[in-house]
A and B are shown apart, each in its own frame.
Chain A
């Protein structure tokens, strides 16, 4: 983990804009992010949890877990666990999101 570097998604616009209606505080925003990501990761059999407000825990169904610091590290870890990239252009994933399955 590189540690200490701010990922661009943690930059000022979210704080300035308060991110979304649901995210009034940094903690709420992290939980909101985790909830959104879990909406996606279910498609891959993975799950994410907040870890002490500073990192995230990524797990698969066999119980393998990795600590990740930001979204860049999350996608790298997911790729290691799955053996393939999580592609947001994948039509199967998009179908699932569009139907709310």
Chain B
């Protein structure tokens, strides 16, 4: 069982240029219960952040030995997190309870996640909390059409905050919501306007690996993935759209999974196709296990599996959600079934 309470959660706030990342962060940090949050930002934007635990990091990408491109460790970020932790331990700064990292608008968030989850020193003190992506309610569709970074930022999110919903038309918001749900059906969508800030608890405290919130979180994303408007096969292909190649689907398996065979299969899949497997989230019925096992990954990065004491709903079958690029559902389904028969 993962003892996640011993690790400090890291929340990554990403989103395209001008989508309101800093505004969201600024407003969240105003909540007294989140004052014990350390913040690392890539750049100081126009919106000033006035926070006592704020630091800037310069972007330097380091490719880890024998790693692939998406498993790069951000050397600058790694140094900044380690320094922050050292100062916290020496009592030079307040003992922060969580870390928020704001990325640049054009950043691929995966190297940041990789830094938190794979850097040997950091992973002993921190764990990944949530990936929060802001999407501009007015220009979001345009960004998704023309900016591949914007699609990736939405695809890897746990929470998507649609901003400026008060100045966008209702029709535009509906279209954007449909598109975002198709790219990432497991993310919880929240709205932010000039007077309305999304629930800070849902953004900066609840997460899958949090012992108290894990079961509720799994239930949330499974419900979203299976009941949303587009996951069952809404297709609206456009030749110039960057998200036309990305799709999501949920597999439900009647037969229990052999954990060993599943580990071989998923590790092999992520090694060979990891750049095209943007997300995997699943609740597994493992042979011989009492409760379900939660699996949760972003590209090549897989969270330590969590063994839940009980099923979050009445359905005890394995359910696996994939967000993939250029991989057919039938390919995954056939392959997983063949590997499971190995066991």
Tell me the A residues contacting B by CB distance below 8 Å.
2, 4-9, 11-14, 16-21, 23, 29, 32-33, 36-37, 39-40, 71-76, 79, 85-89, 94, 97-98
A76 touches B271 (CB 8 A): yes
Choose one: A11, A71, A97; the contact of B305 (CB below 8 Å): A11
CA distance A53 to B225 in the complex (A): 40
CA distance A88 to B288 in the complex (A): 25
Choose one: B66, B306, B338; the contact of A97 (CB below 8 Å): B338
Which residues of A have CB within 8 Å of B264? 9, 33, 36-37, 40, 71
Choose one: A5, A72, A97; the contact of B271 (CB below 8 Å): A72
A-B pairs, 7 with minimum CB distance:
A17-B289, A9-B263, A75-B271, A71-B267, A85-B272, A13-B293, A97-B338
Tell me the B residues contacting A by CB distance below 8 Å.
1-2, 66, 120, 123, 258-261, 263-269, 271-273, 284, 286-290, 293, 302-307, 327, 331-332, 334-335, 338-339, 341-343
Q: Considering the complex, give the chain A residue whose CB is closest to the CB of B297.
A: A8
CA distance A23 to B258 in the complex (A): 11
- Given contacts A17-B286, A17-B293, A20-B260, are A86 and B272 in contact (CB under 8 A)? yes
CA distance A86 to B332 in the complex (A): 15
A16 touches B307 (CB 8 A): yes
Choose one: B260, B269, B302; the contact of A89 (CB below 8 Å): B269
User: Nearest chain B CB to A75's CB is how many angstroms away?
Assistant: 4
B272 touches A16 (CB 8 A): no
Which residues of B have CB within 8 Å of A89? 269, 272-273, 327, 331-332, 335
Which residues of B have CB within 8 Å of A21? 287-288
B305 touches A12 (CB 8 A): yes
CA distance A9 to B295 in the complex (A): 10
B269 touches A88 (CB 8 A): yes
18 of the cross-chain contacts (CB-CB < 8 Å) are: A9-B264, A9-B266, A12-B2, A12-B304, A13-B306, A16-B307, A19-B288, A36-B261, A71-B264, A79-B271, A85-B272, A87-B268, A87-B273, A88-B268, A89-B269, A89-B327, A89-B332, A94-B335
Which residues of A have CB within 8 Å of B338? 94, 97-98
A75 touches B305 (CB 8 A): no
User: Nearest chain B CB to A96's CB is how many angstroms away?
Assistant: 9
B307 touches A29 (CB 8 A): no
Which residues of B have CB within 8 Å of A13? 259, 284, 286, 289, 293, 305-307
Which residues of B have CB within 8 Å of A18? 288-289
B263 touches A40 (CB 8 A): no
Choose one: A32, A36, A76, A88; the contact of B66 (CB below 8 Å): A76
Which residue among A2, A5, A20, A40 has the maximum number of chain B CB atoms within 10 Å of its CB? Answer: A20
**A86-B271, A89-B272, A94-B335 provided; 15 other pairs, C-beta below 8 A?**
A8-B302, A8-B304, A8-B305, A12-B1, A13-B289, A16-B290, A17-B286, A20-B259, A20-B261, A20-B287, A20-B288, A20-B343, A36-B343, A72-B267, A89-B273
B271 touches A39 (CB 8 A): no
Which residues of B have CB within 8 Å of A97? 338-339, 341-342
Which residue among B268, B306, B307 has the maximum number of chain A CB atoms within 10 Å of its CB? Answer: B268
